[in-house]
Every structure is written in C-alpha cells, then in structure tokens.
Structure 1
Amino acid sequence: MVSSVDPRFGVALREFREQRGLSLRSLGQRAHRSKSHLHELEAGLKAPTVDTACHLDRVLDVGGALARLVDAPIDHAAEAGELRARVAASDVSADVLDRIEQGVDDLASAYPTMTPADLLPLVRRHLSYVGRLLEGRVTLAQRRRLLVAGGWLAVLRATVHIDLRQRTAAVAHLRAARDLAEHAEHGEIQAWCLETRAWDVLTQGDYQGALDLSRQAQRVAPRGSSARIQATAQEARAWARIGDVGATRRALDRVERLTANLPAPERAEHHYRYDPAKAAAYAATTLAWAGDPGAEQVARAVLAELDPYGDGGARPRRSASARLDLGLALVAAGQPDEAVALGAQAVASGRVVPSNWWRAAELLAKVEQSGVPEAVTLRDVCTEFAPGRRPSADSASG
C-alpha cells in the first residue's frame, strides 16, 4: 500500500540519518536503496511504502518511528498552523546572531595581523556554522542576517585563499560570496567581491582586467561605502601599473575627496572598513608604481608615521609594505643603496606573504638593473625568506 506524501516522513528520515552521521550514499548502501530514491523520500517528492518505512526503521534502529508516520493520517489543519507558526518561530536566537556578526568583525579585524594559514580554519569554522543555521528554522529577517554574515565570511575566506595562492579555492568562495550577497541584496559585499578580484588579477599582471573590475565595483558599491573608496584606490593602482600617471593622479584625487570627511572607524584594522589613514599609504604605493617623482616624499612620510622607531610599529604589515614602496621610489630617484637596505628590512620582517611577494621581487629586479653591488644582499635575503621556505608572520592586503 502506498501512502499519501507526508512531509514529516522526509524530515524525520533526514534527522535520523544525520543523527547517525550517515550520508545519503552510506545509508543507501546499508539499506540497499539508491541515493536518488532516498533523496526523493527526504525531499517529499515520493511517498514511502509501509515496507520501505519498516525497512528504514530497522536499518536506522528508530523503533518504528518512520512506519508510524506512513500509517498516520495527515492533519492538514495542523500543518497549516505549523506553517503559520514557522513564520514567527526560529531556532536561532538574537543573541546567536549578534555573536555571529561580532565574530565576522573580529575575523575581519584579525586579517592584517594573523597568518593566512592560522586565520583560514577560523573563517572556515564560522562559515560552516552559518551554513548549518541557514538549513534550520529561521525567520525571513534572521535569514537575511545570516546571508549577510555568510557573504562577509565567504569573501574574507576567498581573500585568505588568494594570500595563500590557492586560486581555485578563492574563485569558488568569491562566487559563493557573490551569490549570498545577491540573495541578501547587499551591494557592498557584491562590490567587495569585484574589488577582491581586481586585486588578484592586478598581482597577476592583468592590469586592464583590474581596471575594469575596479570600475564595476565602484558602480555596484553604495555611495559613501568603504567598498567604493577601496575600489577607487584599486583603480588608481591599475592605472599606475598601466603607466598612465595622469589617470593615476586623478583617481587618487577622487580617493582624497571620498575620504576628506570620513571619520576613523571604530576598528581601524577591520579589512572592510576604510581607514582614512590608509589613504597616504595607498598613495605612496600607487605613485611608486607609476614612477611619479612625488612618490619618495609621500612614502617617507608614511613610513615615519607607521614605524617611527624602526621596530615595525603597531602595524608591521603596513610598515613592511611602506619600506617596499619607498625602496621602489628610491631606485627610480637614483638611490639604490638605501633601497637595498629598506627592501632587506621589509623581507626579513616576515611580513611579505605569497600574494604580496611579487612586490619584493619587483624591487629586487629594479635594484639589480641599477647595477649596484649591494643588490646581492637583497637577493640573499629574498632567497632566504621566499614563500615556502619560512613561515610568514602576517597576511597581505588587497
């Protein structure tokens, strides 16, 4: 006898299966049923026979619970009432959601100081937890908050994968972040996905691609958002690599206007909250790449601010990047000796990770082209600290 399709059967079957740690495939092997057949039963696409229910009862050892659901009549009034209750009911408390969002901010703030290898499992664990909650009973408002949290975590995870040069994983999680952001209708996360892609292709030498993605990010980003500012700064970097100094300067001018009245964020190290203090550092990097004569002065001021005592300062990652920027500017200004010293300090700090290593390599190439004998010193340090030879002490920033 075939019963009516009772959705409670599929829900119960899935719960019993997961409680025993079984996948659909492993349950199918034990019960001698196909994976697709079990999926249809759990999804309510196919009604179970009494024999099938009894067989699954025995395999899962649930004391006839599934067979009773097949025999039991469906109470449509009760089901309608349950549906109405689900609109207001949830297994996720406000406190849980608050802690998840706090965790997102904590991880985004830890990004500049933790190694990518140490940060990745934390992000992965938080993202997995959000995914499990999305599968449970949540209200529409709670679902959106979870989607937004998942979107931020997915784009952060992609960024960490980029730092580790794990591009296949990075692409997959950027796609996931984009999908979550689209479902949540969250324009800023969508913009950060584009900006992150722009940074990645820039480091691979696709400067036109970086320019196009940066402009797309600016169009998607909400007005006044950190994503729009960062994407504008990224555009300036792309122009610098292309070699258009005028366009570089114009893009930097736009960044300056966007940040003119921007207050410092509560957590300045938060990767997705633009800190106005970053503007000078981005300008130094961009001008150095563009070969602009003003790069040296800006880069010296940035390094003095970040590392006044020469010990790495409170933000050693930025200090290392500032040394590379100043070194590049000094080579262009005919001062390769000092550039060697600065480059060696930056590399030996352990703060130059795989995704940023090309900047150290570029400085080394410029120094060696200058013919200065001290270039061998920088080459030796780069060889010693090259990615894969020593553990990195920091993460890179897009």
Structure 2
Amino acid sequence: MASFVDPRFGVALRGFRERRGLSLRSLGQLAHRSKSHLHELETGVKAPTADTARHLDRVLDAGGVLAGMVDAPIDHAAEAGELRARVMASDVGKDVLDRIEQGVDDLASAYPTTAPADLLPLVRRHLAYVGRLLDGRVTLAQQRRLLVAGGWLAVLRATVHIDLRQRAAAAAHLRAAHDLAEHAEHAEIRGWCLETRAWDVLTQGDYQAALDLSRQAQRIAPQGSSAYIQATAQEARAWARMGDVGETRRALDRVEQLTANLPVPERAEHHYRYDPAKAAAYTATTLSWAGDPGAEQVARAVLADLDPDGDGGARPRRSASARLDLGLALVASGQPDEAVALGTEAVVSGRVVPSNWWRATELLAKVEQAGVPEAAALRELCAEYAPRRRQSADSTTG
C-alpha cells in the first residue's frame, strides 16, 4: 500500500536541515542518502518511505516530527501518488485527465484557506505531473486538456509566489501560464495572468500600471467571465489608489451590473470562479482606499457576513482583510480607537499573507497619524508578526 505524506514534509525537512547548518551534500553523507534524493524529498517531487522519515528524524534530532508526517491521511498527496502511478504504468486516459482537472479545482478551492507555504508544494507537484504527461504521447484533445490544466496550475503557482513575496518566481510562472494559455487558445487564463500582474503591481504602489493591466485583462478575457469581472474590480481598486472617486464608483457600478444575476458557483471558494459575495468585499476594500464615506457601512456588513461569531469564520484570510478594510474606513470617519482594535485582531490572527501585509502597515500609519495612544501597541504587534520574520524558512524561488 502506498504511503501518504504531509505536503509540509519537504518544508519541515529543509527547516531542520538548515537549523543544523547542513547542506544537502553534508546531510546526505550523514544519512547515507544521495543529495539528489534529499532534494526531491524537500521539493515534494518524491514522497519518503516511513523508514526514510524515521532515519532522517534520528539524524536531524527532529523529535519524531518528520516520521509523524508520513502515513498521515493527506488527500492531495494521495491523489498525487495515485496519479503518478497511473502516469508511469499506462498511457494517458480519460480517468487520468479527469483526476488532474479535479486536482486543479481542489487546489484552487484550497487557496483561500491554506497557508501559501503549505499550498506551494502541492501545486508544484501537480504541475510537474502535467509537464511529464505533456512530454509523452497524447492526442491533440488530450494535449489541450493538459495545456489548460497546466495553465491554471501555473497561474495559481504564480499567485502563491506573490503571496510569499517571491516576485521573480511569480513572474516566471505567469509567463509560463500565458504561454500555455496561448497554445491552448484559452482567453480566460490569459485574462487571469494579466489580472494577477495587476494585483501584484498594485501592492507595490504602481497604480497606473495596475490600471493599464486591468484594462488589458478586460479586453482579452471573455465578456462576463470570472476573469473579466475580477479585472473590472481590480480597475476600481487602481482608481481608488489614484484618488479618483468618480472613476472608482463607475468601475464598481460595472462590477455590480456584471454580478447582479450571477449565480453562486458550485464551489464558491474556488479562486477562479467569481462568487457574487466577493463583490461586496471588493467594494468595501475599494471604497475604504478611496476614502469614500460609504465605506464604513459596506465594510461592517461584509465583516458581519464573513465572521458572524468573531472567530475568523470559514474564510479567515478574507476576514482578516475585511477587518483591515473596516479599520481604514473607521479612521476616515473619525473612529480610530475601533480601527486599532480591528487592526490588532487582523494582525494576531496570523492570516494576513505577506503580499497583503502592506495593508496592515497602512492602517498602522493612519491610526498613528490620528494620535491614538493604543497605536503603539499595534506597532509592537506588527513588528512581532511581520512576515519577514517568519518567511525565511519557507522561501523558495523554484
């Protein structure tokens, strides 16, 4: 029976190795394993056997952590292991392609609730399988399905790299996603590539580039598609950051028209299927950035819907962002004390990903400008929870 492995095994192995100050070569000498085999374990290309995990545990004095990750019931790794066996044992069939596409949807649906460092090895592994299949003998129809699956996985991988602030890796995989989409003649993936680039440059402060990329995405993506709607919402955000309230409102009105009769998708958490509920969250963010007086009411409604019990709700990352949005709106309306409390909740939740951290620091700057005494405590928390302190062990450019 095949072993299952926690997708975080490679991250943990690398962490224990680096804390011991060992290179892959030196660990290989200690553990009597090849450098290439250890590299495959760390990058998630291969799953360790139970014996290998226990042996590495002893060598690295990992206290049973590595061994405990083997044989855990991790669905994605099980799927990947089965897929790999099928690829190696037989020609590509419909069942294999169906399973790959199901895996793409599973990963895109896991994106809102899974830590980027945990999701990255899973996406990387699935993308490697698709690449291996594309190297084999496939029909034209099978090839297109693989190209489309690879395109979705590549743009998702780029998004995760952006969340981890690994922008060189993100740019490389966005180019790959675009090329795959071009070969597959898949306009929506091309639109998502541009929209993702727009979000990335927006977070870096290049608002004009974000505006231009959002408009390009709208020209390329199919009218009314999720990519088209998201790009329109991204345009509104760019206008908000540029301080043009009129254009911001007009773009938001277009989003409202596009989503007015849009049904809730079967998997609302799917990152590439526009959920009408997202429209309210984007409106709250955008109006908060624009300093619009209507931001507070919308932001309160969004937070109440996402987190009715105050425990983070089913979508804790989105709930953390909603707290930051409401905080900005409250500062603008002269309520900085509550804004500090909301900022504190968002920061200590640990759910503000690195690419979104600038939103927490922006709220901190606003409450400090307002002269709120409690802002000093928020600054200390921001220093404690800043992602740069926690990302070094998880960072990768591959």
TM range (shorter): 0.7 to 0.9
Which residue of the partner structure matches residue 87 of structure 1? none
Q: Which amino acid aligns with 1:302?
A: V
TM-score by length of 2: 0.75
Runs of 4+ with >4 A deviation: none
1:368 matched to 2:360: no
Displacement, 1:91? Answer: 2.0
Q: Distance in 1 between matches of 2:282 and 2:374?
A: 28
Q: Distance in 1 between matches of 2:152 and 2:304?
A: 33
**What do residues 34-69 of structure 1 show as CA deviations (whole Å, max 9, x unaligned)?**
xxxxxxxxxxxxxxxxxxxxxxxxxxxxxxxxxxxx
Displacement, 1:287? Answer: 0.1
**What do residues 1-24 of structure 1 show as CA deviations (whole Å, max 9, x unaligned)?**
xxxxxxxxxxxxxxxxxxxxxxxx
Displacement, 1:389? Answer: 2.8
Q: Distance in 1 between matches of 2:123 and 2:390?
A: 23
Which residue of the partner structure matches residue 313 of structure 1? 313
Which residue of the partner structure matches residue 167 of structure 1? 167
Which residue of the partner structure matches residue 132 of structure 2? 132
Q: Distance in 1 between matches of 2:163 and 2:117?
A: 9
How do 1:116-131 residues align onto structure 2 when only pairs under 5 Å count?
A: 116-131=116-131
Which residue of the partner structure matches residue 102 of structure 1? 102
1:232 matched to 2:232: yes
Contact 2:307 2:313 in 1 (8 A): yes
Displacement, 1:365? Answer: 0.3
Q: Which amino acid aligns with 2:299?
A: A
Q: Which amino acid aligns with 2:292?
A: D
3-state SS of paired residue (1:350): coil
Which residue of the partner structure matches residue 149 of structure 1? 149
Q: Which moved more, 1:372-381 or 1:276-285?
A: 372-381
Q: Distance in 1 between matches of 2:130 and 2:314?
A: 32
3-state SS of paired residue (1:388): helix
3-state SS of paired residue (1:257): helix
Q: Which amino acid aligns with 1:146?
A: L
Q: Distance in 1 between matches of 2:237 and 2:204?
A: 13
How do 1:346-361 residues align onto structure 2 when only pairs under 5 Å count?
A: 346-361=346-361
**What do residues 303-360 of structure 1 show as CA deviations (whole Å, max 9, x unaligned)?**
1111111111111111111100000000011111000000000010000011000000
3-state SS of paired residue (2:136): coil
1:341 matched to 2:341: yes
Q: Which amino acid aligns with 2:227?
A: A
Q: Distance in 1 between matches of 2:391 and 2:341?
A: 22
Q: Distance in 2 between matches of 1:316 and 1:249?
A: 28
Displacement, 1:391? Answer: 7.0
Contact 2:353 2:387 in 1 (8 A): yes
Contact 2:148 2:181 in 1 (8 A): yes
Which residue of the partner structure matches residue 291 of structure 2? 291
**What do residues 133-179 of structure 1 show as CA deviations (whole Å, max 9, x unaligned)?**
00101000000000000000000000001011111100000000000
Q: Which moved more, 1:183-192 or 1:380-389?
A: 380-389
For structure 1, the residue ranges without an aligned partner over 5 or more in a row are 1-89, 393-398
3-state SS of paired residue (2:325): helix
3-state SS of paired residue (2:387): coil
Q: Which amino acid aligns with 1:357?
A: W
**What do residues 155-206 of structure 1 show as CA deviations (whole Å, max 9, x unaligned)?**
0000001011111100000000000000000000000000000000000000
Q: Which amino acid aligns with 1:120?
A: L
1:176 matched to 2:161: no
3-state SS of paired residue (1:158): helix
Which residue of the partner structure matches residue 198 of structure 1? 198
How do 1:271-282 residues align onto structure 2 when only pairs under 5 Å count?
A: 271-282=271-282
Contact 2:130 2:150 in 1 (8 A): yes
Q: Distance in 2 between matches of 1:197 and 1:322?
A: 22
Contact 2:224 2:258 in 1 (8 A): yes
Q: Distance in 2 between matches of 1:301 and 1:291?
A: 17
Q: Which amino acid aligns with 1:281?
A: A
For the aligned residue pairs, the C-alpha RMSD in angstroms reads 1.5
Contact 2:218 2:228 in 1 (8 A): yes
1:259 matched to 2:273: no
Displacement, 1:377? Answer: 1.5
How do 1:51-70 residues align onto structure 2 when only pairs under 5 Å count?
A: none
**What do residues 277-315 of structure 1 show as CA deviations (whole Å, max 9, x unaligned)?**
010000000000000000001001111111111111111
Which residue of the partner structure matches residue 377 of structure 1? 377
Displacement, 1:390? Answer: 4.3
Q: Distance in 2 between matches of 1:360 and 1:292?
A: 19
Q: Distance in 2 between matches of 1:213 and 1:128?
A: 29
Q: Which amino acid aligns with 1:108?
A: A
Q: Distance in 2 between matches of 1:110 and 1:290?
A: 31
Q: Distance in 2 between matches of 1:355 and 1:111?
A: 14
Q: Distance in 1 between matches of 2:308 and 2:116?
A: 27
Q: Which amino acid aligns with 1:343?
A: G
Which residue of the partner structure matches residue 222 of structure 1? 222
Contact 2:164 2:391 in 1 (8 A): no
Which residue of the partner structure matches residue 33 of structure 1? none
3-state SS of paired residue (2:138): coil
